[in-house]
Chain A
Amino acid sequence: KAGVTQTPRYLIKTRGQQVTLSCSPISGHRSVSWYQQTPGQGLQFLFEYFSETQRNKGNFPGRFSGRQFSNSRSEMNVSTLELGDSALYLCASSLAGTGKHEQFFGPGTRLTVL
């Protein structure tokens, strides 16, 4: 069974630009969560989508948004990039959500904002 895939793996943008990251979950998984990982703040929850609906959201500004398609693939978008948005963005999928179910993580997208 193929794992969680994320594209692109690396991205360089400049301040003020916007970026879209993509995540393909494991086949059959309906829940996709996104996390931001930085050396200073660690792993922080961005949001979770389940069956195309945002079910849970972390404490991030509205510049961070996401969506999920009918095939469970998910995208997250960051508008008006700031230097502090430089991070590893991780996507995770699970069968039914973040409760007691294991989340399977992709390799991440490394975003650098110059």
Chain B
Amino acid sequence: AQSVTQLGSHVSVSEGALVLLRCNYSSSVPPYLFWYVQYPNQGLQLLLKYTTGATLVKGINGFEAEFKKSETSFHLTKPSAHMSDAAEYFCAVSSNSGGSNYKLTFGKGTLLTVNP
């Protein structure tokens, strides 16, 4: 079975500081990995995804994440936080145990607060 662990349910940073949101996954097969963001009273929006190829993936709004197979991690970073980055962030893994039926499993989420 696959699972996702997001370390830190709440992260607080100052505007302009580095953002680092941690995600570790477990999967018995090579996974597809995603980061989604959710603003209040809205659905989820994809920030970036890893499927195959380059392990450093760049997403929207200046975010990027690096897939590290040896560490089973997919941490999300942004060099300089902006007030508009305040939201809840979800790491997710999609994998299957055979056939073509995939299942998306989400972490519990990390609420990012950006202080002026």
Distance A99 CA – B30 CA, assembled complex (angstroms): 11
State which of A56, A104, A105 has its C-beta within 8 Å of the C-beta of B103: A56
Count A/B pairs, Cβ under 8 Å. 58
How many chain-A residues does the 8 Å CB contact rule pick out?
24
Name A's interface SS.
Answer: strand
B5 to chain A, nearest CB (A): 12
Q: Per-position contact with A for B84-116: 1 when CB-CB < 8 Å, else 0?
A: 000000100010100011111111110000000
How many chain-B residues does the 8 Å CB contact rule pick out?
24
Answer whether A43 and B106 are a contact pair too, CB < 8 Å, given A90-B43, A100-B32.
yes
Residue of A nearest to B90 (CB): A43
Q: Per-position contact with B for A75-114: 1 when CB-CB < 8 Å, else 0?
A: 0000000000000001010000111101111111000000
Q: Per-position contact with A for B19-36: 1 when CB-CB < 8 Å, else 0?
A: 000000000000010101
**B51 CB within 8 Å of chain A:** yes
Q: Does A42 lie within 8 Å of B106, measured CB to CB?
A: yes
Residues of chain B contacted by A103 (CB below 8 angstroms): 44, 46, 104
Q: Does B32 lie within 8 Å of A33, measured CB to CB?
A: no
Distance A108 CA – B101 CA, assembled complex (angstroms): 24
Answer whether A55 and B104 are a contact pair too, CB < 8 Å, given A99-B96, A105-B44, A107-B43.
no
Q: Does A90 lie within 8 Å of B101, measured CB to CB?
A: no
Distance A56 CA – B90 CA, assembled complex (angstroms): 21
**A45 CB within 8 Å of chain B:** yes
Distance A99 CA – B4 CA, assembled complex (angstroms): 16
Which B residues are closer than 8 A to A by beta carbons? 32, 34, 36, 41-46, 49, 51, 90, 94, 96, 100-109
Which 5 residue pairs of A and B lie closest in terms of their CB atoms, listed nearest first? A105-B43, A43-B106, A100-B51, A98-B102, A99-B102
